[in-house]
Amino acid sequence: MTNTVPRDGAAPQRPDLAAELLRRKDLDQHARGVRPDGTRADPDWKAMTAVDADNVAWLKKAVDEVGWPGLTLVGEDACDSAWLFAQHADEHRDFQEQALVLLREAVEAGEAPPWQLAYLTDRCLVGRKEPQLYGTQYRNGAPLPIADAERLDERRASAGMEPHAEYDARMRHL
């Protein structure tokens, strides 16, 4: 398989789309209380709901037009933004499931990192009330149920993720 990921410094094919994804990510993070310097404030739940709905509607249109906004098309940061909007689409489960399929194809084509697929897989599984596979989803400071926990770190490593104990320690201190 040919890796179509641009080398560092390569310009995305759609800088306009990349800019809009990044603009929308700033709104997403601001509503969630994440400041540009990485510190946190209280989330604005009303703003979060509105931003998520707007981002999902916009991403649906973008996906219909160009497919999944992958690395070659929009670059790494904007590709991360598209994943984030799908991750936050809990009120739009049908779209979240569609995004999961598109993201899986993008990962297979080298157009998105495997960790994104791991997170979105877990998010969709939790949304279906099924145990997660990668241990990425938490509620009240504890991981939600994990399937086949004995092989958790093996699955995480295959997606380029840190061992779960390291992730767990970080998640419990947010």
| pLDDT tens digits, 30-44 | 999 999 888 999 999
The answer to whether position 82 is within a domain reads yes
Residue range 73-112, pLDDT digits in tens: 999 999 999 999 999 999 999 999 999 999 999 999 999 9
pLDDT band at 9 (very low <50, low <70, confident <90, very high): low
Q: Domain limits at 107? A: 15-172
82: which residues sit within 8 A by CB, 6+ positions away? 21, 59, 62, 68, 69, 74
Question: Above 80 in pLDDT, residue 51?
Answer: yes
Residue 4 domain-assigned (yes or no): no
The count of structural domains within the chain is 1
Across all residues in the chain, what is the average pLDDT?
A: 93
**pLDDT the model gives residue 2:** 34
Residue 1 lies in a domain: no
| 75, part of any domain | yes
Q: Tell me the β-bridge partners of 62.
A: none
Assigned domain for 8 exists: no
User: Has residue 116 been placed in a domain?
Assistant: yes
Using a 10 angstrom Cβ sphere, with 0-12 exposed, 13-18 middle and 19 or more buried, the burial of residue 18 is: buried
- Asked whether residue 42 is domain-assigned, the answer is yes
State the sign of the Cα–Cα–Cα–Cα dihedral 59, 31, 41, 88. negative
